[in-house]
Structure 1
Amino acid sequence: MTIIAGVFSVMAVICYMLCFKLATERVEVPQNNTKFNFGDLMKSLVTNRSLIGIITAAILLLLVMLTMQGMNAYLFPNFYGNVAAQSVAALAGSLVMLVVCAPLATKLSAKYGKKELAIGSCLFGAVVYLICWVLKPENPYTYVVFYMVANIGVGFFNMVIWAMITDVIDDAEVKNGVREDGTIYSVYSFARKIGQALSSGMIGALLSVIGYSAATAFNPEVVNGIFNMTCIIPAIGFVGIALVLMFLYPLSKNRVEANVLELKKRRGEI
């Protein structure tokens, strides 16, 4: 296993080097000789409402995705007594991403806006989970259908979120007159790492709240608590994402289009 891991690591390094050497940069960015000032950088980031909004929404997205995936490991064996259905759910969730979200994300975001698409899909996911919680399906494969449909809420936002970072970069350039791709991408990526670290213990915390342990794993109140947490926490997370995008993240479709137009004027493209 160690040898195989080493071989793949070397292949990864080779691929990265080939990507670097063979890539052709077609977009020329004017050289910025401004002296780096850490204080100005932090002030710019802290006051960047669009960046703060997308970071907050991304962290909530990670928490929702972790809960949806992680709680299934307890829901199917403990509540439904059917481990096989867990694999079906994982496959169904991936198929929704591939068949529904990936082909439609670009078209829908172009028509309605990335922010608007993300808000709509997240509210849709919340409604699906609330309906599932109220109906409390007894058949595990009926729950799989709810899980598959709810993945649309995660899928569309997960598809467009990296394009939304580009909108954040454009917005910062319009305001500050400086293109800060690397800085904004790195801050966003670092914030996601923090979110992943925070979310790693979330499943354990949720199970502790409902009194889960090896001895109580199949107690009626515990298995019911597992089902409730599996539905309610993602629904709350979906609503939280929608609220953040509505009231904190300012880059609506009209705002994004206005920023693109302004930058084209500054670059003499129109």
Structure 2
Amino acid sequence: MIGVGTPLFAFETVNGNTVLSGPRMTIIAGIFSILAILCYLLCFNLVRERVEVPANNQKLEIGRLLASLATNRSLLGIIASAISLLLAQLTMQGMAGFVFPNFYGSPQAQSASTLAGSAAMLLICAPLAVKLSTQFGKKELSIASCVVSAVVFVLCFIVHPLNPFVYVGFFTAAYVGMGFFNTVIWAMITDVIDDAEVKNGIREDGTIYAVYSFARKVGQALSSGLTGVLLSMIGYTQATAFDPDVTEGIFKMSCLAPAIGFVLVALCLWFIYPLNKKRVEENVAELAARHKG
């Protein structure tokens, strides 16, 4: 709703340029804030916890915990990959807020890109991710999909489409590649937990999830400022927002920055994350034998 609807109402044309309207954004932000509060209240009042989790009274050994996490290559690999993915994804979304109105002058295309990306996730990634990851492996699927996304953005940079909806096509294709990794990444966390249990003999679901979630928050914080840094690098200011050199720089950065991010994801998965299809299947078999015994 936010990604599709906001661009249609938040921009206005001033002296022939498409610019973001402060008053309109204030109203839109207020509306979505009220909706967010209502959704939280509904979630709180309509959800009931049915599974009782017994209290864990085991003494926490901080030193052993930190040593275990620091030497857990699979956890470090998935954290590095997730942070790189966030850099790519949030840069895609952040630069979209500039390439569509400033370079293409079409906030409608920005709305279409969000709709197309979401539809592609639901219609392509969601139904195919399980089948492909089962056949080829989650690590293997994620590497291939991120490489495809990087190639798509490089092709977009080379083709340099002047029609905004051709850019939307490239954007959507890259979103599909990203979507496969986004779909299976939480299942990969389960693989990381299994791997740690095989090595340590202890299942540390909560600890590993907590560390991973914290690392994602760090990645989100870093990514939130990255778009501003990239815009500063190309000389973007309020006065130069529609200068030809600056808008051209916006287009180039909207292609190259996500491409670099996706390459980083693939490299992290290839060289750091060790849980390929064979290794995951071995861990599953080992844990099944232990639990059965």
Look up the match of 2:42. 11
Distance 1:4 1:80, change over 3 A: closer
- Residue pairs, 1:33-44, within 5 angstroms: 34-44=58-68
CA distance in 2, matches of 1:68, 1:13: 33
- TM-superposed CA distance for 1:199, in Å, is 1.1
Look up the match of 2:7. none
CA distance in 2, matches of 1:59, 1:169: 19
Q: 2:267 pairs with 223, 230, 243, which one?
A: 243
Could you state the TM-score of these two structures normalised by the residue count of structure 2? 0.85
State the AA in 1 paired with 2:282: A
- Once the two structures are superposed, what CA deviation does each residue of 1:124-167 show, in whole Å capped at 9, x if it has no partner? 00100000000101111111110111111210000000000000
Look up the match of 2:198. 174
CA distance in 2, matches of 1:222, 1:143: 18
Distance 1:101 1:3, change over 3 A: closer
Q: Secondary structure at the match of 1:201?
A: helix
- Residue pairs, 1:208-227, within 5 angstroms: 208-227=232-251
Q: 1:152 pairs with 159, 176, 187, which one?
A: 176
CA RMSD, 1 decimal: 1.9
- Once the two structures are superposed, what CA deviation does each residue of 1:209-232 show, in whole Å capped at 9, x if it has no partner? 100011111111111110110000
State the AA in 2 paired with 1:13: F
CA distance in 1, matches of 2:199, 2:141: 25
Could you state the TM-score of these two structures normalised by the residue count of structure 1? 0.92
CA distance in 2, matches of 1:6, 1:262: 46
Q: 1:232 pairs with 247, 256, 259, which one?
A: 256
- TM-superposed CA distance for 1:11, in Å, is 2.5
Look up the match of 2:215. 191
CA distance in 1, matches of 2:191, 2:265: 18
Distance 1:124 1:7, change over 3 A: closer
- TM-superposed CA distance for 1:77, in Å, is 1.1
Q: 2:146 pairs with 101, 119, 122, which one?
A: 122
Q: 1:81 pairs with 105, 108, 120, which one?
A: 105
CA distance in 2, matches of 1:143, 1:105: 25
Distance 1:121 1:6, change over 3 A: closer
- TM-superposed CA distance for 1:9, in Å, is 3.5
- TM-superposed CA distance for 1:7, in Å, is 5.0
- TM-superposed CA distance for 1:15, in Å, is 3.2
Give ranges in structure 1 of 5+ residues lacking alignment.
none
- TM-superposed CA distance for 1:12, in Å, is 2.1
Look up the match of 1:139. 163
| Structure 2 residue 282 is the aligned partner of structure 1 residue 258 | yes
Distance 1:49 1:230, change over 3 A: same
% identical aligned pairs:
59
State the AA in 1 paired with 2:65: L
- TM-superposed CA distance for 1:249, in Å, is 0.3
Q: Secondary structure at the match of 2:292?
A: coil
CA distance in 2, matches of 1:153, 1:243: 15
CA distance in 2, matches of 1:81, 1:122: 29
Q: 1:63 pairs with 87, 111, 122, which one?
A: 87
Distance 1:35 1:10, change over 3 A: same
Distance 1:87 1:3, change over 3 A: closer
CA distance in 2, matches of 1:170, 1:226: 43
CA distance in 2, matches of 1:124, 1:3: 39
Q: 1:113 pairs with 137, 140, 143, which one?
A: 137
- TM-superposed CA distance for 1:81, in Å, is 1.5
CA distance in 1, matches of 2:290, 2:80: 31
Q: Secondary structure at the match of 1:267?
A: helix
- Residue pairs, 1:92-107, within 5 angstroms: 92-107=116-131
- Once the two structures are superposed, what CA deviation does each residue of 1:178-215 show, in whole Å capped at 9, x if it has no partner? 00001000111111111111111111111001000111
Kindly tell me the number of residue pairs found equivalent between the two proteins: 262
Q: Secondary structure at the match of 1:200?
A: helix
